[in-house]
Structure 1
Amino acid sequence: MKDRNQWRQAVQRIVRSEMSIRGVKYQGLSDRLAEIGIVQSADNLRNKVNKGILGADLLLQILFVLNARALSKETIEAVLGEHD
C-alpha cells in the first residue's frame, strides 16, 4: 500500500513530466491557467507542485491547459513504482 507521501510524489512527477514534455515553465503554466480564468501565481504553482498537494480541481485544470496525455491506471502505477 502506498502512503500519502508517495501519492504526492506521483502528482509532482506527473505534472512536472507534462510541463517538461511541452517546455512549459511555471510562469507559462500560470499564464495558461489565467486564459481559462484560474488565477495562480508561478510561485504558488511551484510550491503546490513541489509539495504534490493540489486540489483535484487544480490538478484537472493543469492537465487540461497542458493538453496532457491520458492518465491510465498503468501510467499511475508506473509513476508510483519508481518509488519502490
Structure 2
Amino acid sequence: MSAKNAWRQTVARVVKSEMSVRGVKYQDLSQRLAAIGIEQSADNLRNKVNKGIMGADLLLQILLVLKARPIDASVLEEILTDLNAY
C-alpha cells in the first residue's frame, strides 16, 4: 500500500471508529455538523470518510462534533503498522 493510501485509510479508520463508539450514523454526523454551521450531506460525508479524503478543517470539525477521544501518535502508528502489514 502506498504511503498516501495508508494515510487516507488511517483517516477513515479514526473517523469511523469515533462514529462507531458513539453510535453515530452519517445522517447524525451531517446534523451535528449543521448545528455548528457546516453543511455536508450524509452521502458526501460517507464518500469523504470512506476515501479518507477531506480537508484538515473538516476532519477537525468532525472530531469536535463527535467529541472524539484524544488521538496520540501511538494510535496512528498502530493503524499504519496494521495497514502496511497487508
TM-score by length of 1: 0.96
Which ranges of structure 1 fall in alignment gaps of 5 or more residues? Answer: none
Quote the sequence identity (%). Answer: 65
Aligned letter for 2:33? L
Q: TM-score, normalised by structure 2?
A: 0.94
Aligned residues: CA RMSD? 0.8
Inter-partner Cα distance in structure 2 for 1:18 and 1:80:
17
Match of 1:67 in 2: 67
Give the Cα–Cα distance (whole angstroms) in 2 for the partners of residues 75 and 32 of structure 1: 25
What does the per-residue CA deviation read over 1:17-57, in whole Å, with 9 as the maximum and x for residues that have no partner?
00000000000000000000000000000000011001000
Q: Which residue in the other structure is 1:14 paired with? A: 14
* Aligned match of 1:35: 35
Q: Which runs of 5+ in 2 are unaligned?
A: none
Q: 2: distance between equivalents of 1:40 and 1:19?
A: 16
The one-letter amino acid of 2:58's match is L
